[in-house]
């Protein structure tokens, strides 16, 4: 009996390997997603649904108005020659030249891409308020005591919130936006079929659909870099403010802009006060909204006068990488995120 006990006591114990850093980050990202699923997932869906509802209402109103015109005038005159009893898209498309069909395809592509605007616009508000409450709310409801009891560092916790705001939320909004584009084309396809058109010829161009989605996907790295100072500032206010982080986040940059404008402090650098408002205040508070970087982009690619292609948009967008505003802001954002990590480490509102 003693031999059995001694053998059991001497049995080797396999040490438990610590979780890998990527596994820990994955769990933290899942936590952020499930805690903020309403903003990350449902808010873009509701925004896209509302935009599609407005599109459907507009098409119904246009259809009613068109039928009213047909009943009153007995038909529609096209180019002064062809009179159609209603809108026959098959007959109308047969009269269009190759260049006309190309322009029609470009217009359809632009309209399809616009179906993504609402989810991407809501993304800016979601990221703004998410970062603003990410560290403040957990102190307010005391859940920070539980999360600090886990073997997760303040660095990993804050970085998971940064990745959630600048990568996870845009990817989810992009996925919803692509679904909105497809739904938009399906709605238009019904309209085209009603008027004897071929939606596969007039609407469904896989190249344009994939190119539009690709442009938005390629914008995510630019968005993450451009939004870094905004995310850093909002997280810093969230970690520092004892109450009302929204007021602190808004009023401090605004009061700084008013002070600088009042005393014309930018004149010492041969700059106008509007430079501070545009490059500091607007960037801190509005950098989380997609497309706000285009005012520093090289827009000379659009000077040819024709409708911009997807490559033109990509070239203009990635020209932002050559601007000092992007990199100075990114460095400032990283610095503020580091300060937010330090603040979370010792911040206690008791």
Structure confidence at residue 72 (pLDDT): 66
Question: For residues 261 and 270, what is the distance between their CA atoms, to the nearest angstrom?
Answer: 13
Question: For residues 66 and 44, what is the distance between their CA atoms, to the nearest angstrom?
Answer: 33
Question: For residues 156 and 23, what is the distance between their CA atoms, to the nearest angstrom?
Answer: 12
Please classify residue 22 by burial: count the beta carbons closer than 10 Å to its beta carbon, then call 0-12 exposed, 13-18 middle and 19+ buried. Answer: exposed
Q: Which two tokens stand for residue 282?
A: 């607007």
Question: For residues 188 and 83, what is the distance between their CA atoms, to the nearest angstrom?
Answer: 24
Digits of tens for pLDDT over the chain (350 positions)?
454 544 445 555 555 455 566 788 899 999 999 999 999 999 999 999 999 999 899 888 888 877 776 666 655 555 554 444 556 666 666 666 666 666 666 677 777 788 888 999 999 999 999 999 999 988 888 888 888 888 888 999 999 999 999 999 999 999 999 999 999 989 988 888 887 777 777 777 666 778 888 888 999 999 999 999 999 999 999 999 988 999 999 999 999 999 998 988 888 888 888 899 999 999 999 999 999 998 899 888 777 666 677 788 889 999 999 999 999 999 999 999 999 999 988 766 55
Rg (CA), the chain: 27
Structure confidence at residue 284 (pLDDT): 94
Question: For residues 275 and 283, what is the distance between their CA atoms, to the nearest angstrom?
Answer: 11
> Which residues in 161-196 are b (16+ Cβ under 10 Å) and which e?
bbbbbbebbbebbbbbbbbbbebbbeebbebbeebe
Q: DSSP alpha helices (H): ranges in the chain? A: 2-9, 21-35, 37, 43-73, 89-94, 98-114, 117-134, 136-140, 143-149, 154-163, 169-194, 199-202, 206-240, 245-263, 273-276, 282-286, 310-318, 324-346
> Which residues in 131-159 are b (16+ Cβ under 10 Å) and which e?
bbbbbbebbeeeebeeeeeeebebebbbe
Per domain, the residue ranges of the chain are 31-51+105-346
């Amino acid at each position: 009996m003693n031999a059995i006990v001694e053998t059991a006591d001497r049995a080797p114990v396999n040490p438990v390997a610590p979780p890998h850093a990527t596994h820990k980050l994955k769990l933290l990202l899942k936590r952020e997603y499930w805690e903020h699923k309403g903003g990350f997932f449902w808010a873009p869906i509701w925004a896209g649904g509302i935009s599609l509802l407005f599109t459907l209402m507009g098409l119904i109103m246009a259809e009613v108005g068109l039928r009213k015109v047909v009943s009153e005038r007995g038909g529609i005159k096209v180019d002064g020659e062809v009179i159609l009893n209603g809108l026959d898209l098959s007959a109308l498309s047969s009269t269009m030249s190759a260049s006309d069909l190309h322009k029609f395809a470009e217009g359809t592509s632009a309209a399809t891409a616009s179906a993504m605007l609402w989810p991407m616009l809501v993304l800016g508000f979601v990221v703004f308020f998410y970062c603003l409450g990410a560290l403040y709310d957990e102190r307010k409801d005391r859940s920070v005591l539980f999360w600090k009891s886990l073997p997760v560092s303040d660095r990993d916790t804050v970085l998971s919130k940064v990745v959630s705001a600048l990568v996870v939320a845009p990817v989810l909004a992009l996925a919803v936006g692509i679904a909105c584009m497809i739904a938009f084309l399906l709605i238009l396809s019904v309209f085209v079929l009603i008027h004897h058109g071929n939606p596969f010829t007039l609407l469904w161009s896989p190249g344009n659909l994939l190119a539009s989605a690709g442009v938005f996907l390629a914008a995510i790295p630019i968005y993450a870099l451009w939004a870094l100072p905004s995310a850093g500032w909002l997280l810093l206010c969230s970690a520092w403010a004892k109450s009302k982080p929204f007021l602190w986040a808004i009023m401090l940059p605004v009061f700084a802009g008013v002070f600088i404008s009042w005393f014309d402090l930018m004149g010492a650098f041969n700059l106008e006060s509007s430079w501070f408002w545009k490059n500091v205040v607007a960037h801190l508070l509005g950098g989380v909204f997609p497309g706000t970087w285009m005012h520093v982009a090289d827009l000379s690619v659009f000077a040819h006068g024709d409708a911009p292609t997807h490559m033109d948009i990509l070239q203009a967008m990635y020209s932002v990488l050559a601007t000092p505003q992007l990199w100075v802001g990114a460095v400032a954002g990283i610095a503020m995120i580091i300060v937010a990590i330090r603040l979370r480490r010792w911040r206690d509102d008791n």
